Structure 1
């Protein structure tokens, strides 16, 4: 294989791993001049790859869909089958490593010509896997765009519809996509709020790429998991209540961390914190996280209030009674 061919394949690999490359950075990566990069781009274009170029200090190259599938060693039917399979896997969480599924789907659909994309869309709508509880419908196109932004560390804008019905425009630095409790969540740094936020992807639309790259803020896998768990807890629960704690809001947020989201000032030295669960037992579990020694009241409604009270009174009687004699062998 000639040096020219090897270099062109290396360039193609770089173009497929990032959405946008500055020409100078491609030249540095390949160890050639920018003029050589331009010649290699033309060679790839001759092979059927549609590569967009933009001038200026922020300009560069990006790989786009062409009029035909470029040489990927895939037939049209194979490409369609792979795209549909990846869509199903992504939307139903059939395999581990969801980010791998989504980025593979995004990379494949990035080069599918329009006729094949229409076939994928039409066929995917008729594929209804059974045996898995489905969550809210999620656009695979949106998932793919967000996956690319997470991978490339690119700022994006989008519209978000909250559960209250309010729609806001957000500008964020995407960090991770994760499935949980039959939904997809986007964890990102919200540039307007100057804080981490987690968004339900099915409530998100109008993704706009800014082509502005960012240096990702450090997060451990455990921190990412905690953010997603907190986001899951914000879904409306069958048994909900507020706990008003004798604890200032700033102190409470410092003690609770991400789990303090939704807490509000309830007056001098008081904090109102929403808590809930599938039944009164899960709500009780949430209340047990209130720090020792902190007094509080709750508006837990009937019949959960009476059910919880009966369980606690019985538990207190059991704890106050003498322990049973140890079992004899």
Structure 2
């Protein structure tokens, strides 16, 4: 196909991916061609393996369907970056059973991706760590902006909505993003509070990377810092308990945002936070393994009272 025809066919494919059904007249108007030219371009797409269906009558038109084999995909920049990042996370083991297939797919995508996009993906991957478990969605533009800021060591400004619903303007020096099973977090040095903080990406708005370069700082381990922040720091009570199971078994049952799990010989030590000790006692009691309370002592009293209440209910 000539260059002009190729560009028009790619534009036609983009239109078919954007909406469920198009009439021939609508497509001709978008492309600036005749209905006959649209029919020829639809035939070219079919020759390339794209299942374009055509129907007559009221409500009819052209529709891109699912085929027996996967044809080449047409992706814009944001879509290509999002897919590549997801594949890198999956290849790293954050999605069970997908590592090998993700690596194969990532290799194919990396081979055809333009150098500028390949650089963006590697920047984002280098600025991200993951805790075990699935990874939640995040705004691609925010991820890319923060990844560049981590790479370039520049300050970032954004509006941030607190747990109480209030909004504040924050200025930080970002270090690393951490993906948990539910959310994405940024670990950064908060300039106004003169301390390390974590920020949920879904609570950020109007994220802007400045040109203010910052010198390197000694910083905590990002993954450990974020895990402590989401499992213990926000809560009134923090409990530690020894569970008669391996750390791997406990982690399989409890996502990282619920509690931190460390191996302790043949057992595991679970650290978790909560605002009510009785609810913490209930959740520990529901674990399918024996549990020994390490701290606080008050949790033992709460567990004993819970046991008495359950015994009375069982009479």
Q: TM-score range, shorter-chain basis?
A: 0.3 to 0.5
Q: TM-score, normalization: structure 2?
A: 0.42
